Amino acid sequence: MATRIKTMSAKSGISLASSLVVLLGSLASHAIAQEEENNSGSLLEEQVIVTGTRVNLQNAQDIKREADTVVDAISAEDIGALPDRSVLEAIQRMPGVSVERFAGPDDPDHFSVEGSGAIIRGMTQTRSEFNGRDSFTANSGRGLNFQDVSPELMGGVDIYKNQTADMIEGGIGGTISLKTRKPFDQDGRKMAFTLDYSYGDIAEEWSPTFSGLYSDRWDTSLGEFGLLVSYANSELYGETHGIQSDAYVRYRASSIPGGERFQNPDEPDETAYVWMPNSANALKKADDRKRQGASAVIQWADPTGAVEVTGEYFRSDSTLSWHENAIKYQGSYPEDIDDIRSTAKEGTTIEFDDNGLFQGGALQYVNWIADGGNSDHIPSQGDVGDAYPQFGQKLQFDSRVVDTDNLVEDFSLNISWNVTDNLELSGDYQYIQADTEQDDLVIHTGSFAGEEYYLGDTPTLNLVDPWFGARDADPDAYAPGGDYTAGFSTNTGTEYSQPGDADYFQDYNNYFWRSAMEHYERSEGKLAAARFDLTYHFDNSFVTSIKAGIRASDREQLVRRTSWNWKAVGPEWSGSTTAAWVLEDRYADQLGDLELVDWSDFHGGGVVNIPGNKTLHASEEFVRAVRDYKRELIGSTAGDWNSIGTAEDQDPGRYANRYGVDDKYGMFWPGEISYTREENRAFYTRLDFASDGDIRFSGNVGIRYVELDRQSDGSVVYPDLAPARYPPAGISLPLTNDVVMAEMQRQVDEGVFPDVDTALANNPWVDEANAYLSSEDRAFGNGAALPTSAKNDFKLFLPSFNLDGSGDDFTGWSKLNSADTITAVTSDTCAGRGMQAVSAGGDPWSVQVSSPEFDTTIGADYTATMWIKSSVADATMRFSTSALNGAQYGGDNVIGTSWQQVVWNFQPNSDATQLVLDLGASATTYLIDDVKIVPGLEPDPSSCPHTDGGSAGPTNLLSNGGFESGDGDAFTDWTVENGASGVSATAAEVHGGSRALQAVAAGGNEWDVQVTSARADTVVGTTYVASMWVKAAAAGGQVRFSTKTDIDVAQYQGLQTVGTDWTEVSFEFAADDVKTSMVLDLGAVAATYYIDDVSLTEKPAE
């Protein structure tokens, strides 16, 4: 996959009436807690927490800490600080949330620049909400296409990984709740705008994003009024490149050059197999995504503040258009292991690994190519080897255009009333309207090519002319009247075609209009929902509150969605007419609708290599014109794209020509239209409890009762069992073996073909399975759609229970980032309970802990201290602050593997400050204890009495360097790349421990026997030393180190000679990537080696 987007932002804000500017895309911010703490003593001591007032725009760590169930959150500030183009990209940063990177879970051929769906804890069954209410896209069931939602309009996103009784049911994997901004979320008047540009370095285009917000509040004698309007307009241009092997098939090993070595000559009856693709495919896709979002909110609160009314309108309108060019294999697939379709080019062999899996080779095609009527362009009769030199693969060249429009409009009204200090009532009404449209058409041109395809970290595909140079080497044999043909096409010597095959892939004479495929969707949905909730709070009680509520909803969805309709345009297999060769007069009106597509920049170059760099495809403009019925796609008489449907044959051609379609759009059959209505009624009650005793905990228990009435109307579509190809006139159905063989013998007797096998290969109708069915069976499977309706009623009791203890919480402290990696420990601490933080390495703030807020004097001197140790040497961390007037940052502190005290002197810039521990820079595990803030410049004199006798010496970055872990002959965190049969574990020859690695090399290339470590974290430019202890069974062995990285840049050590005694081999290098594997290259000399105690350490400073 090659997908890269760079982002450059410019953001600004305007403040009116001395109010604070809210920047939708603020670069970064520290979170500020609401608790207060004395400014001396250990900040890890237990405290009494005073909870602040509830607001909609709490920052993320407060939401997680105070949630009623398992929840992760991203605040508006988080979204603005991250370079994310959609809500989907933002939420993937949460623990347990991943994003589908393909265009869909059933479409691995197409990558999605922004992702296509959220997966929580490995499950796709997630609910989506706006402000705690239902939301959905017209064609996606209960879910919302999160990539269609503008992140600039969001006030935050909550991810619920468990249910409480008051939550709407259905989130099996979890619930994703999008929260929009409200005018009462902030004081006074706010105006803000953002301008953002993103650059796609493959697409080589800039794309802009603009958003603006206006919010204000007014106090009147009738109460307080608030108004917020916001708008976001975003564009994104991206391009993705993908290369893939076609389907792997199994062949008899002895039949494939290069596979013979897998057949044991002593056991000829034991069949050996190899697996290989017949070809490879290359695809490049350009995305053009446009998204507009708008929100308008009106709020009113009565003069007492007891009643609050919120009315909101939210609109998201997103369009994704993409154009794809592709090169794809279109040959057939084998029916058994001896039915070979592709094999090695003559004089070459296929490369297989030790498991018999294809690694590379030059491929030719050895099956039926085309009907004999096309013999002026290509071989056509039977197996190529019978009459012609070798020939290449059958390919198609795609030009595909897809436009998808999603519109969601959400209207809501909420009324809340604090009847007393203890009693709250709220009512809510919502209406959603959603529409989805998709138009999808691909037009295929056809041609042929020899292929040289090799795997590796990035596969390479070289196309060569399908004659493998034979025509250019002996042009007389292919001239009219030559050895191989009665006469090749004379459409050469023009602007579209030149003699010879040097420009084969740019020569129009070698292409034909092959086929087309289309798909359409027109879906719509609506939902109306209402709910009423009551909450009563108890004072000074174990039971803190009780809640109850009712909800009713009515959702309707009408989905019109076709299947993918493939139809022939001018196929090569027809016995009645030739393929639709593009230079023939019949297709002259479409000659200008072709374009040569350049592949020289594919994956940056050097991955798909084509003489002349270009192949011939239908132009994007032509595909759009055909799709939108503005142009005709002319085909041969054998093509069925333009066929018109009748009552007897309803589906012969493109969808617009079908018989019996819907009246509104004129393309959908009854079986492609489904209507769903779902009526939901629910009641819940929930009890919350808490204890602040010696064992602190809080939780809730509840039950939800649901009645669900679901009705679905659609059609059962019977399969169409009519044969795709019919036998010649005079042969009736159903076919039998005797009838087929009699016809083949007739063709041989009349001299059409030399033998029965050739006749069978050139009569593709004999392979039509449906032609052998009885008339009754074919009449039953006639493609008819039978209307059907289903109704289901469900009554469910859904209990819920949530309990939150204080196990990994630290009173008053907030886990700002990577909360799941920050835990409490009671061993290996200075005293009592301490904190453990695990960092994968990256930005300092990627693992971050914030203290309670404490009073400070602006400009006065303060000293922060803490005791800390690291699991690796030379880790770095820093102190910083979070305050209203901006963050302050300390310098980097180098942390070793023994307990040490870190000191930072600072002068606060605010009268209320939080201390922040930035722990994310290094890949390590920290232990932290006894954090203190004291006035003045003298650090707290406390000491850490615990000592572990550790050393801050070099740390081995390689896992299992002594090969002690692993089952049998496997080694944990090591991979045998080559020569696996000679690599094993040994206990007889070890340098340390109880196991070592033994490798037997036959001699040859250094990489013939190769063992690779797991990736280790490295710093670009830093010098490292790799070391291994090695000995050989006999003198004269030669080994070396090399490196392997994600950027495919390797470094190689010179060969090192080893003898029969244990010898340390070392290799010093500067890292060129953030992840590095060490590779043991052992194949150069025939020898048996023993390797142990392999290490990778950072070179100590001089």
Mean pLDDT score, 1038-1045:
94
Contacts of 737 (CB under 8 A, 6+ apart): none
Mean pLDDT score, 824-834:
71
Confidence at 832, pLDDT banded by 50, 70, 90: low
The terminus-to-terminus CA distance of the chain in angstroms comes to 42
Q: What is the DSSP letter of 589?
A: G
Mean pLDDT computed over every residue of the chain: 82
Residue 893 has pLDDT above 60, yes or no: yes
Contacts of 585 (CB under 8 A, 6+ apart): none
What CA–CA distance (Å, rounded) separates 564 from 441? Answer: 9
Q: 884, 949 in Cβ contact below 8 A?
A: no
Reference 259, options 338, 334, 366, 368; nearest CA is: 338
Q: What is the pLDDT of residue 146?
A: 66
Residue 84 has pLDDT above 50, yes or no: yes
The token pair that represents 591 in the structure block: 């000659």
Mean pLDDT score, 1025-1035:
93
Least confident range of 291-295, 377-381, 551-555, 562-566: 377-381
What CA–CA distance (Å, rounded) separates 379 from 373? Answer: 10
65, containing H or E segment: helix 60-66
Of residues 97 and 543, more confidence is placed in: 543
Least confident range of 455-464, 706-715, 956-965: 956-965
Reference 209, options 321, 80, 354, 301; nearest CA is: 80
Q: What is the pLDDT of residue 385?
A: 44
- Highest-scoring range by mean pLDDT, 140-154, 643-657, 878-892, 1027-1041: 1027-1041
Q: What is the DSSP letter of 1058?
A: E
User: Is the omega angle on the peptide bond into residue 935 within 30 degrees of 0, that is, cis?
Assistant: no
Q: 144, 170 in Cβ contact below 8 A?
A: no
For each of the domains in the chain, give its residue range(s) and CATH number, in order of start: 221-668 (no CATH), 719-782 (no CATH), 806-935 (2.60.120.260), 974-1098 (2.60.120.260)
Confidence at 106, pLDDT banded by 50, 70, 90: low
Q: Is the whole-model pTM more than 0.85?
A: no
Confidence at 377, pLDDT banded by 50, 70, 90: confident
Q: Burial letters for 481-517: b for 16+ Cβ neighbours within 10 Å, e otherwise?
A: eeebbeebbebeeeebbeeebeebbbbbbbbbbbbbb
Q: What is the pLDDT of residue 12?
A: 35
As to burial, measured by CB atoms within 10 angstroms (0-12 exposed, 13-18 middle, 19+ buried), residue 901 is: middle
The token pair that represents 942 in the structure block: 């406390």
Q: What is the pLDDT of residue 824?
A: 78
What CA–CA distance (Å, rounded) separates 217 from 825? Answer: 48
Reference 189, options 206, 214, 221, 225; nearest CA is: 214
Confidence at 789, pLDDT banded by 50, 70, 90: confident
Q: DSSP characters for 489-540?
A: ----SBTTB-SSSTTGGG-GGG-EEEEEEEEEEEEEEEEEEEEEEEEEEPSS
Residue 808 has pLDDT above 90, yes or no: no
- Highest-scoring range by mean pLDDT, 11-20, 519-528, 830-839: 519-528
Beta bridge partners of 442: 400, 517
Confidence at 109, pLDDT banded by 50, 70, 90: confident
